[in-house]
Amino acid sequence: MSIRVLAAGDHFVQNRLLIDALRREVPGEVDVRELTLPWPVEPFGRVGEVDEASDVEDELIEALRGVEVCVTQMAPLTKRVLDASPDLRLFCVSRGGPVNANLEAAARAGVAVTYAPGRNAVATAEHTLAMLLAATRRIPQTHADLAGGVWRGDYYMYDNVGPELEGSTVGLIGYGAIGRRVARMLEGFGANVLVHDPYADVPGGGVGLSELLERARFVSLHARATAETAGMIGAAEIAAMPRGSVLVNCARGALLDYDALCDALDSGHLFGAAMDVFPEEPIPPGSRLLTTPNLVMTPHLAGASKETAMKAAAIVAADVARYVRGEPLAHVATP
């Protein structure tokens, strides 16, 4: 007997990756229906009561008719979708957290929601190091000058150069799958790594946030966005960092006060900063972020690698296989 699955992929976690993983992992016949979502060509946003989803409720409802399992990255699992999809029993989100799913409504409807923790840990850790180095060595600015035909010798002046990682203290706020990898990479550079994470098993027990900010020349954010961590780095925390420090955020925009960041860069208190995430995405025209000096930015793509997409597909396919075999799901988010 075959199981009917909707592969609602996009232009990153593509349907072909999801379908190949399902064919490898799931025993028996798999009847796959396809729906291609527009992300990242079209940005995600709030859809109904869920966040960071593609606005395709109508198309999703139609595609889910008679479907028992959906594997996706950006499809919105709203109450409206659930009410219109009585056959749905499993909704697999191929990302680190199922923010695009209404978990309470799914539980009431008897739909299990799974996710794909750790899928982008390697890619994000590597991007974090790249951003830290780019901000410290001012790689984007110097490239732009050279591309414009300008050779600026003043970049070599003592007051304009940044510190080396070797022998420096780097503070990591958050010690999950990404933070741990960043710590290992930094140790390879010869850096002294401090960690603040009251919820993780940190070697040596970690340090308090105040101590980390006062001691670290580089600070990188890796905490999850929760009500408790929202705005955890504001003007007072940035002021506590040594003058000439570098701040990196490849985690979530909600962790940081971006006006305070711009103030610290404008005043020269921070030597540089590198951001992959923002309070509003895309960045709106007229934002201070577009004109603040010594700020390196990328458009929320720290986790973007071919391996991330393939891992995401494999993780959700493995949970579909567990569902088919009647086994407990490995990464279930619903009660």
What is the pLDDT, as a whole number, of residue 90? 98
What single letter denotes the amino acid at residue 281?
E
Choose the catalytic residue: 281, 288, 307, 322: 281
Average pLDDT over residues 19-31: 95
Contact, 180 vs 118, CB < 8 A? no
What is the pLDDT, as a whole number, of residue 1? 59
Q: How does pLDDT run across 176-221, given as a tens digit for each residue?
A: 999 999 999 999 999 999 999 999 999 889 999 999 999 999 999 9
Contact, 57 vs 48, CB < 8 A? yes
Q: Comparing C-alpha atoms, which of 83, 71, 76 is closest to residue 110?
A: 83
pTM, full prediction: 0.92
Q: Comparing C-alpha atoms, which of 30, 20, 71, 116 is closest to residue 315?
A: 116
Looking at every residue in the chain, the average pLDDT score rounds to: 97
Q: Beta strands 45-47 and 192-196: pairing type?
A: unpaired
Q: How far is CA 271 from CA 38, 245, 246, 309, in A?
A: 38, 5, 6, 34
What is the pLDDT, as a whole number, of residue 88? 98
- Its sign, for the CA torsion 286, 289, 293, 296, is negative
Report d(CA 304, CA 30) in Å as an integer.
28
Report d(CA 312, CA 72) in Å as an integer.
10
Contact, 333 vs 114, CB < 8 A? yes
Q: How does pLDDT run across 112-133, given as a tens digit for each residue?
A: 999 999 999 999 999 999 999 9
Numbered ranges of CATH 3.40.50.720 in the chain: 3-119+305-325, 121-297
Label residue 240 exposed, middle or buried (CB < 10 Å: 0-12, 13-18, 19+): middle
* Nearby residues of 293 by Cβ (< 8 Å), 6 or more positions away: 265, 266
Q: 322 falls in which pLDDT band (50, 70, 90)? A: very high
Q: How far is CA 329 from CA 29, 228, 323, in A?
A: 20, 29, 7
Tell me whether residue 300 is one of the annotated catalytic residues: yes
3-state SS, 241-256, equals: CCCCEEEEECCCHHHE
- Its sign, for the CA torsion 32, 38, 40, 41, is positive
State what percent of residues in the chain have pLDDT above 90.
Answer: 96
Question: 3-119+305-325 domain in CATH 3.20.20.10?
Answer: no
- Whether the ω angle into residue 282 lies within 30 degrees of 0, i.e. cis, is yes
Average pLDDT over residues 134-144: 97
Q: How far is CA 41 from CA 70, 222, 282, in A?
A: 22, 26, 12
Tell me whether residue 281 is one of the annotated catalytic residues: yes
Contact, 97 vs 332, CB < 8 A? no
Q: How does pLDDT run across 38-75, given as a tens digit for each residue?
A: 999 999 999 999 999 999 999 999 999 999 999 999 99
* Nearby residues of 305 by Cβ (< 8 Å), 6 or more positions away: 120, 122, 123, 126
What is the pLDDT, as a whole number, of residue 2? 84
Average pLDDT over residues 226-244: 97
What is the pLDDT, as a whole number, of residue 335? 81
What is the pLDDT, as a whole number, of residue 276? 98
Report d(CA 312, CA 268) in Å as an integer.
41
State what percent of residues in the chain have pLDDT above 70.
Answer: 100
Report which secondary-structure segment, H or E, holds 99: none
* Nearby residues of 53 by Cβ (< 8 Å), 6 or more positions away: 44, 45, 46, 47, 74, 75, 76, 99, 100
Q: What is the dihedral of CA 198, 225, 77, 113, to 10 degrees?
A: -20
* Nearby residues of 58 by Cβ (< 8 Å), 6 or more positions away: none
**CATH code matching the domain that covers 121-297, chosen among 3.90.79.10, 3.40.50.720, 3.30.479.30, 3.20.20.70:** 3.40.50.720
Q: Comparing C-alpha atoms, which of 253, 315, 308, 312 is closest to residue 124?
A: 308
- Tell me: pLDDT of 144 over 90: yes
- Chain-centroid distance of CA 96 in Å reads 8
Q: How does pLDDT run across 170-186, given as a tens digit for each residue?
A: 999 999 999 999 999 99
What is the pLDDT, as a whole number, of residue 267? 98
Choose the catalytic residue: 196, 217, 252, 331: 252
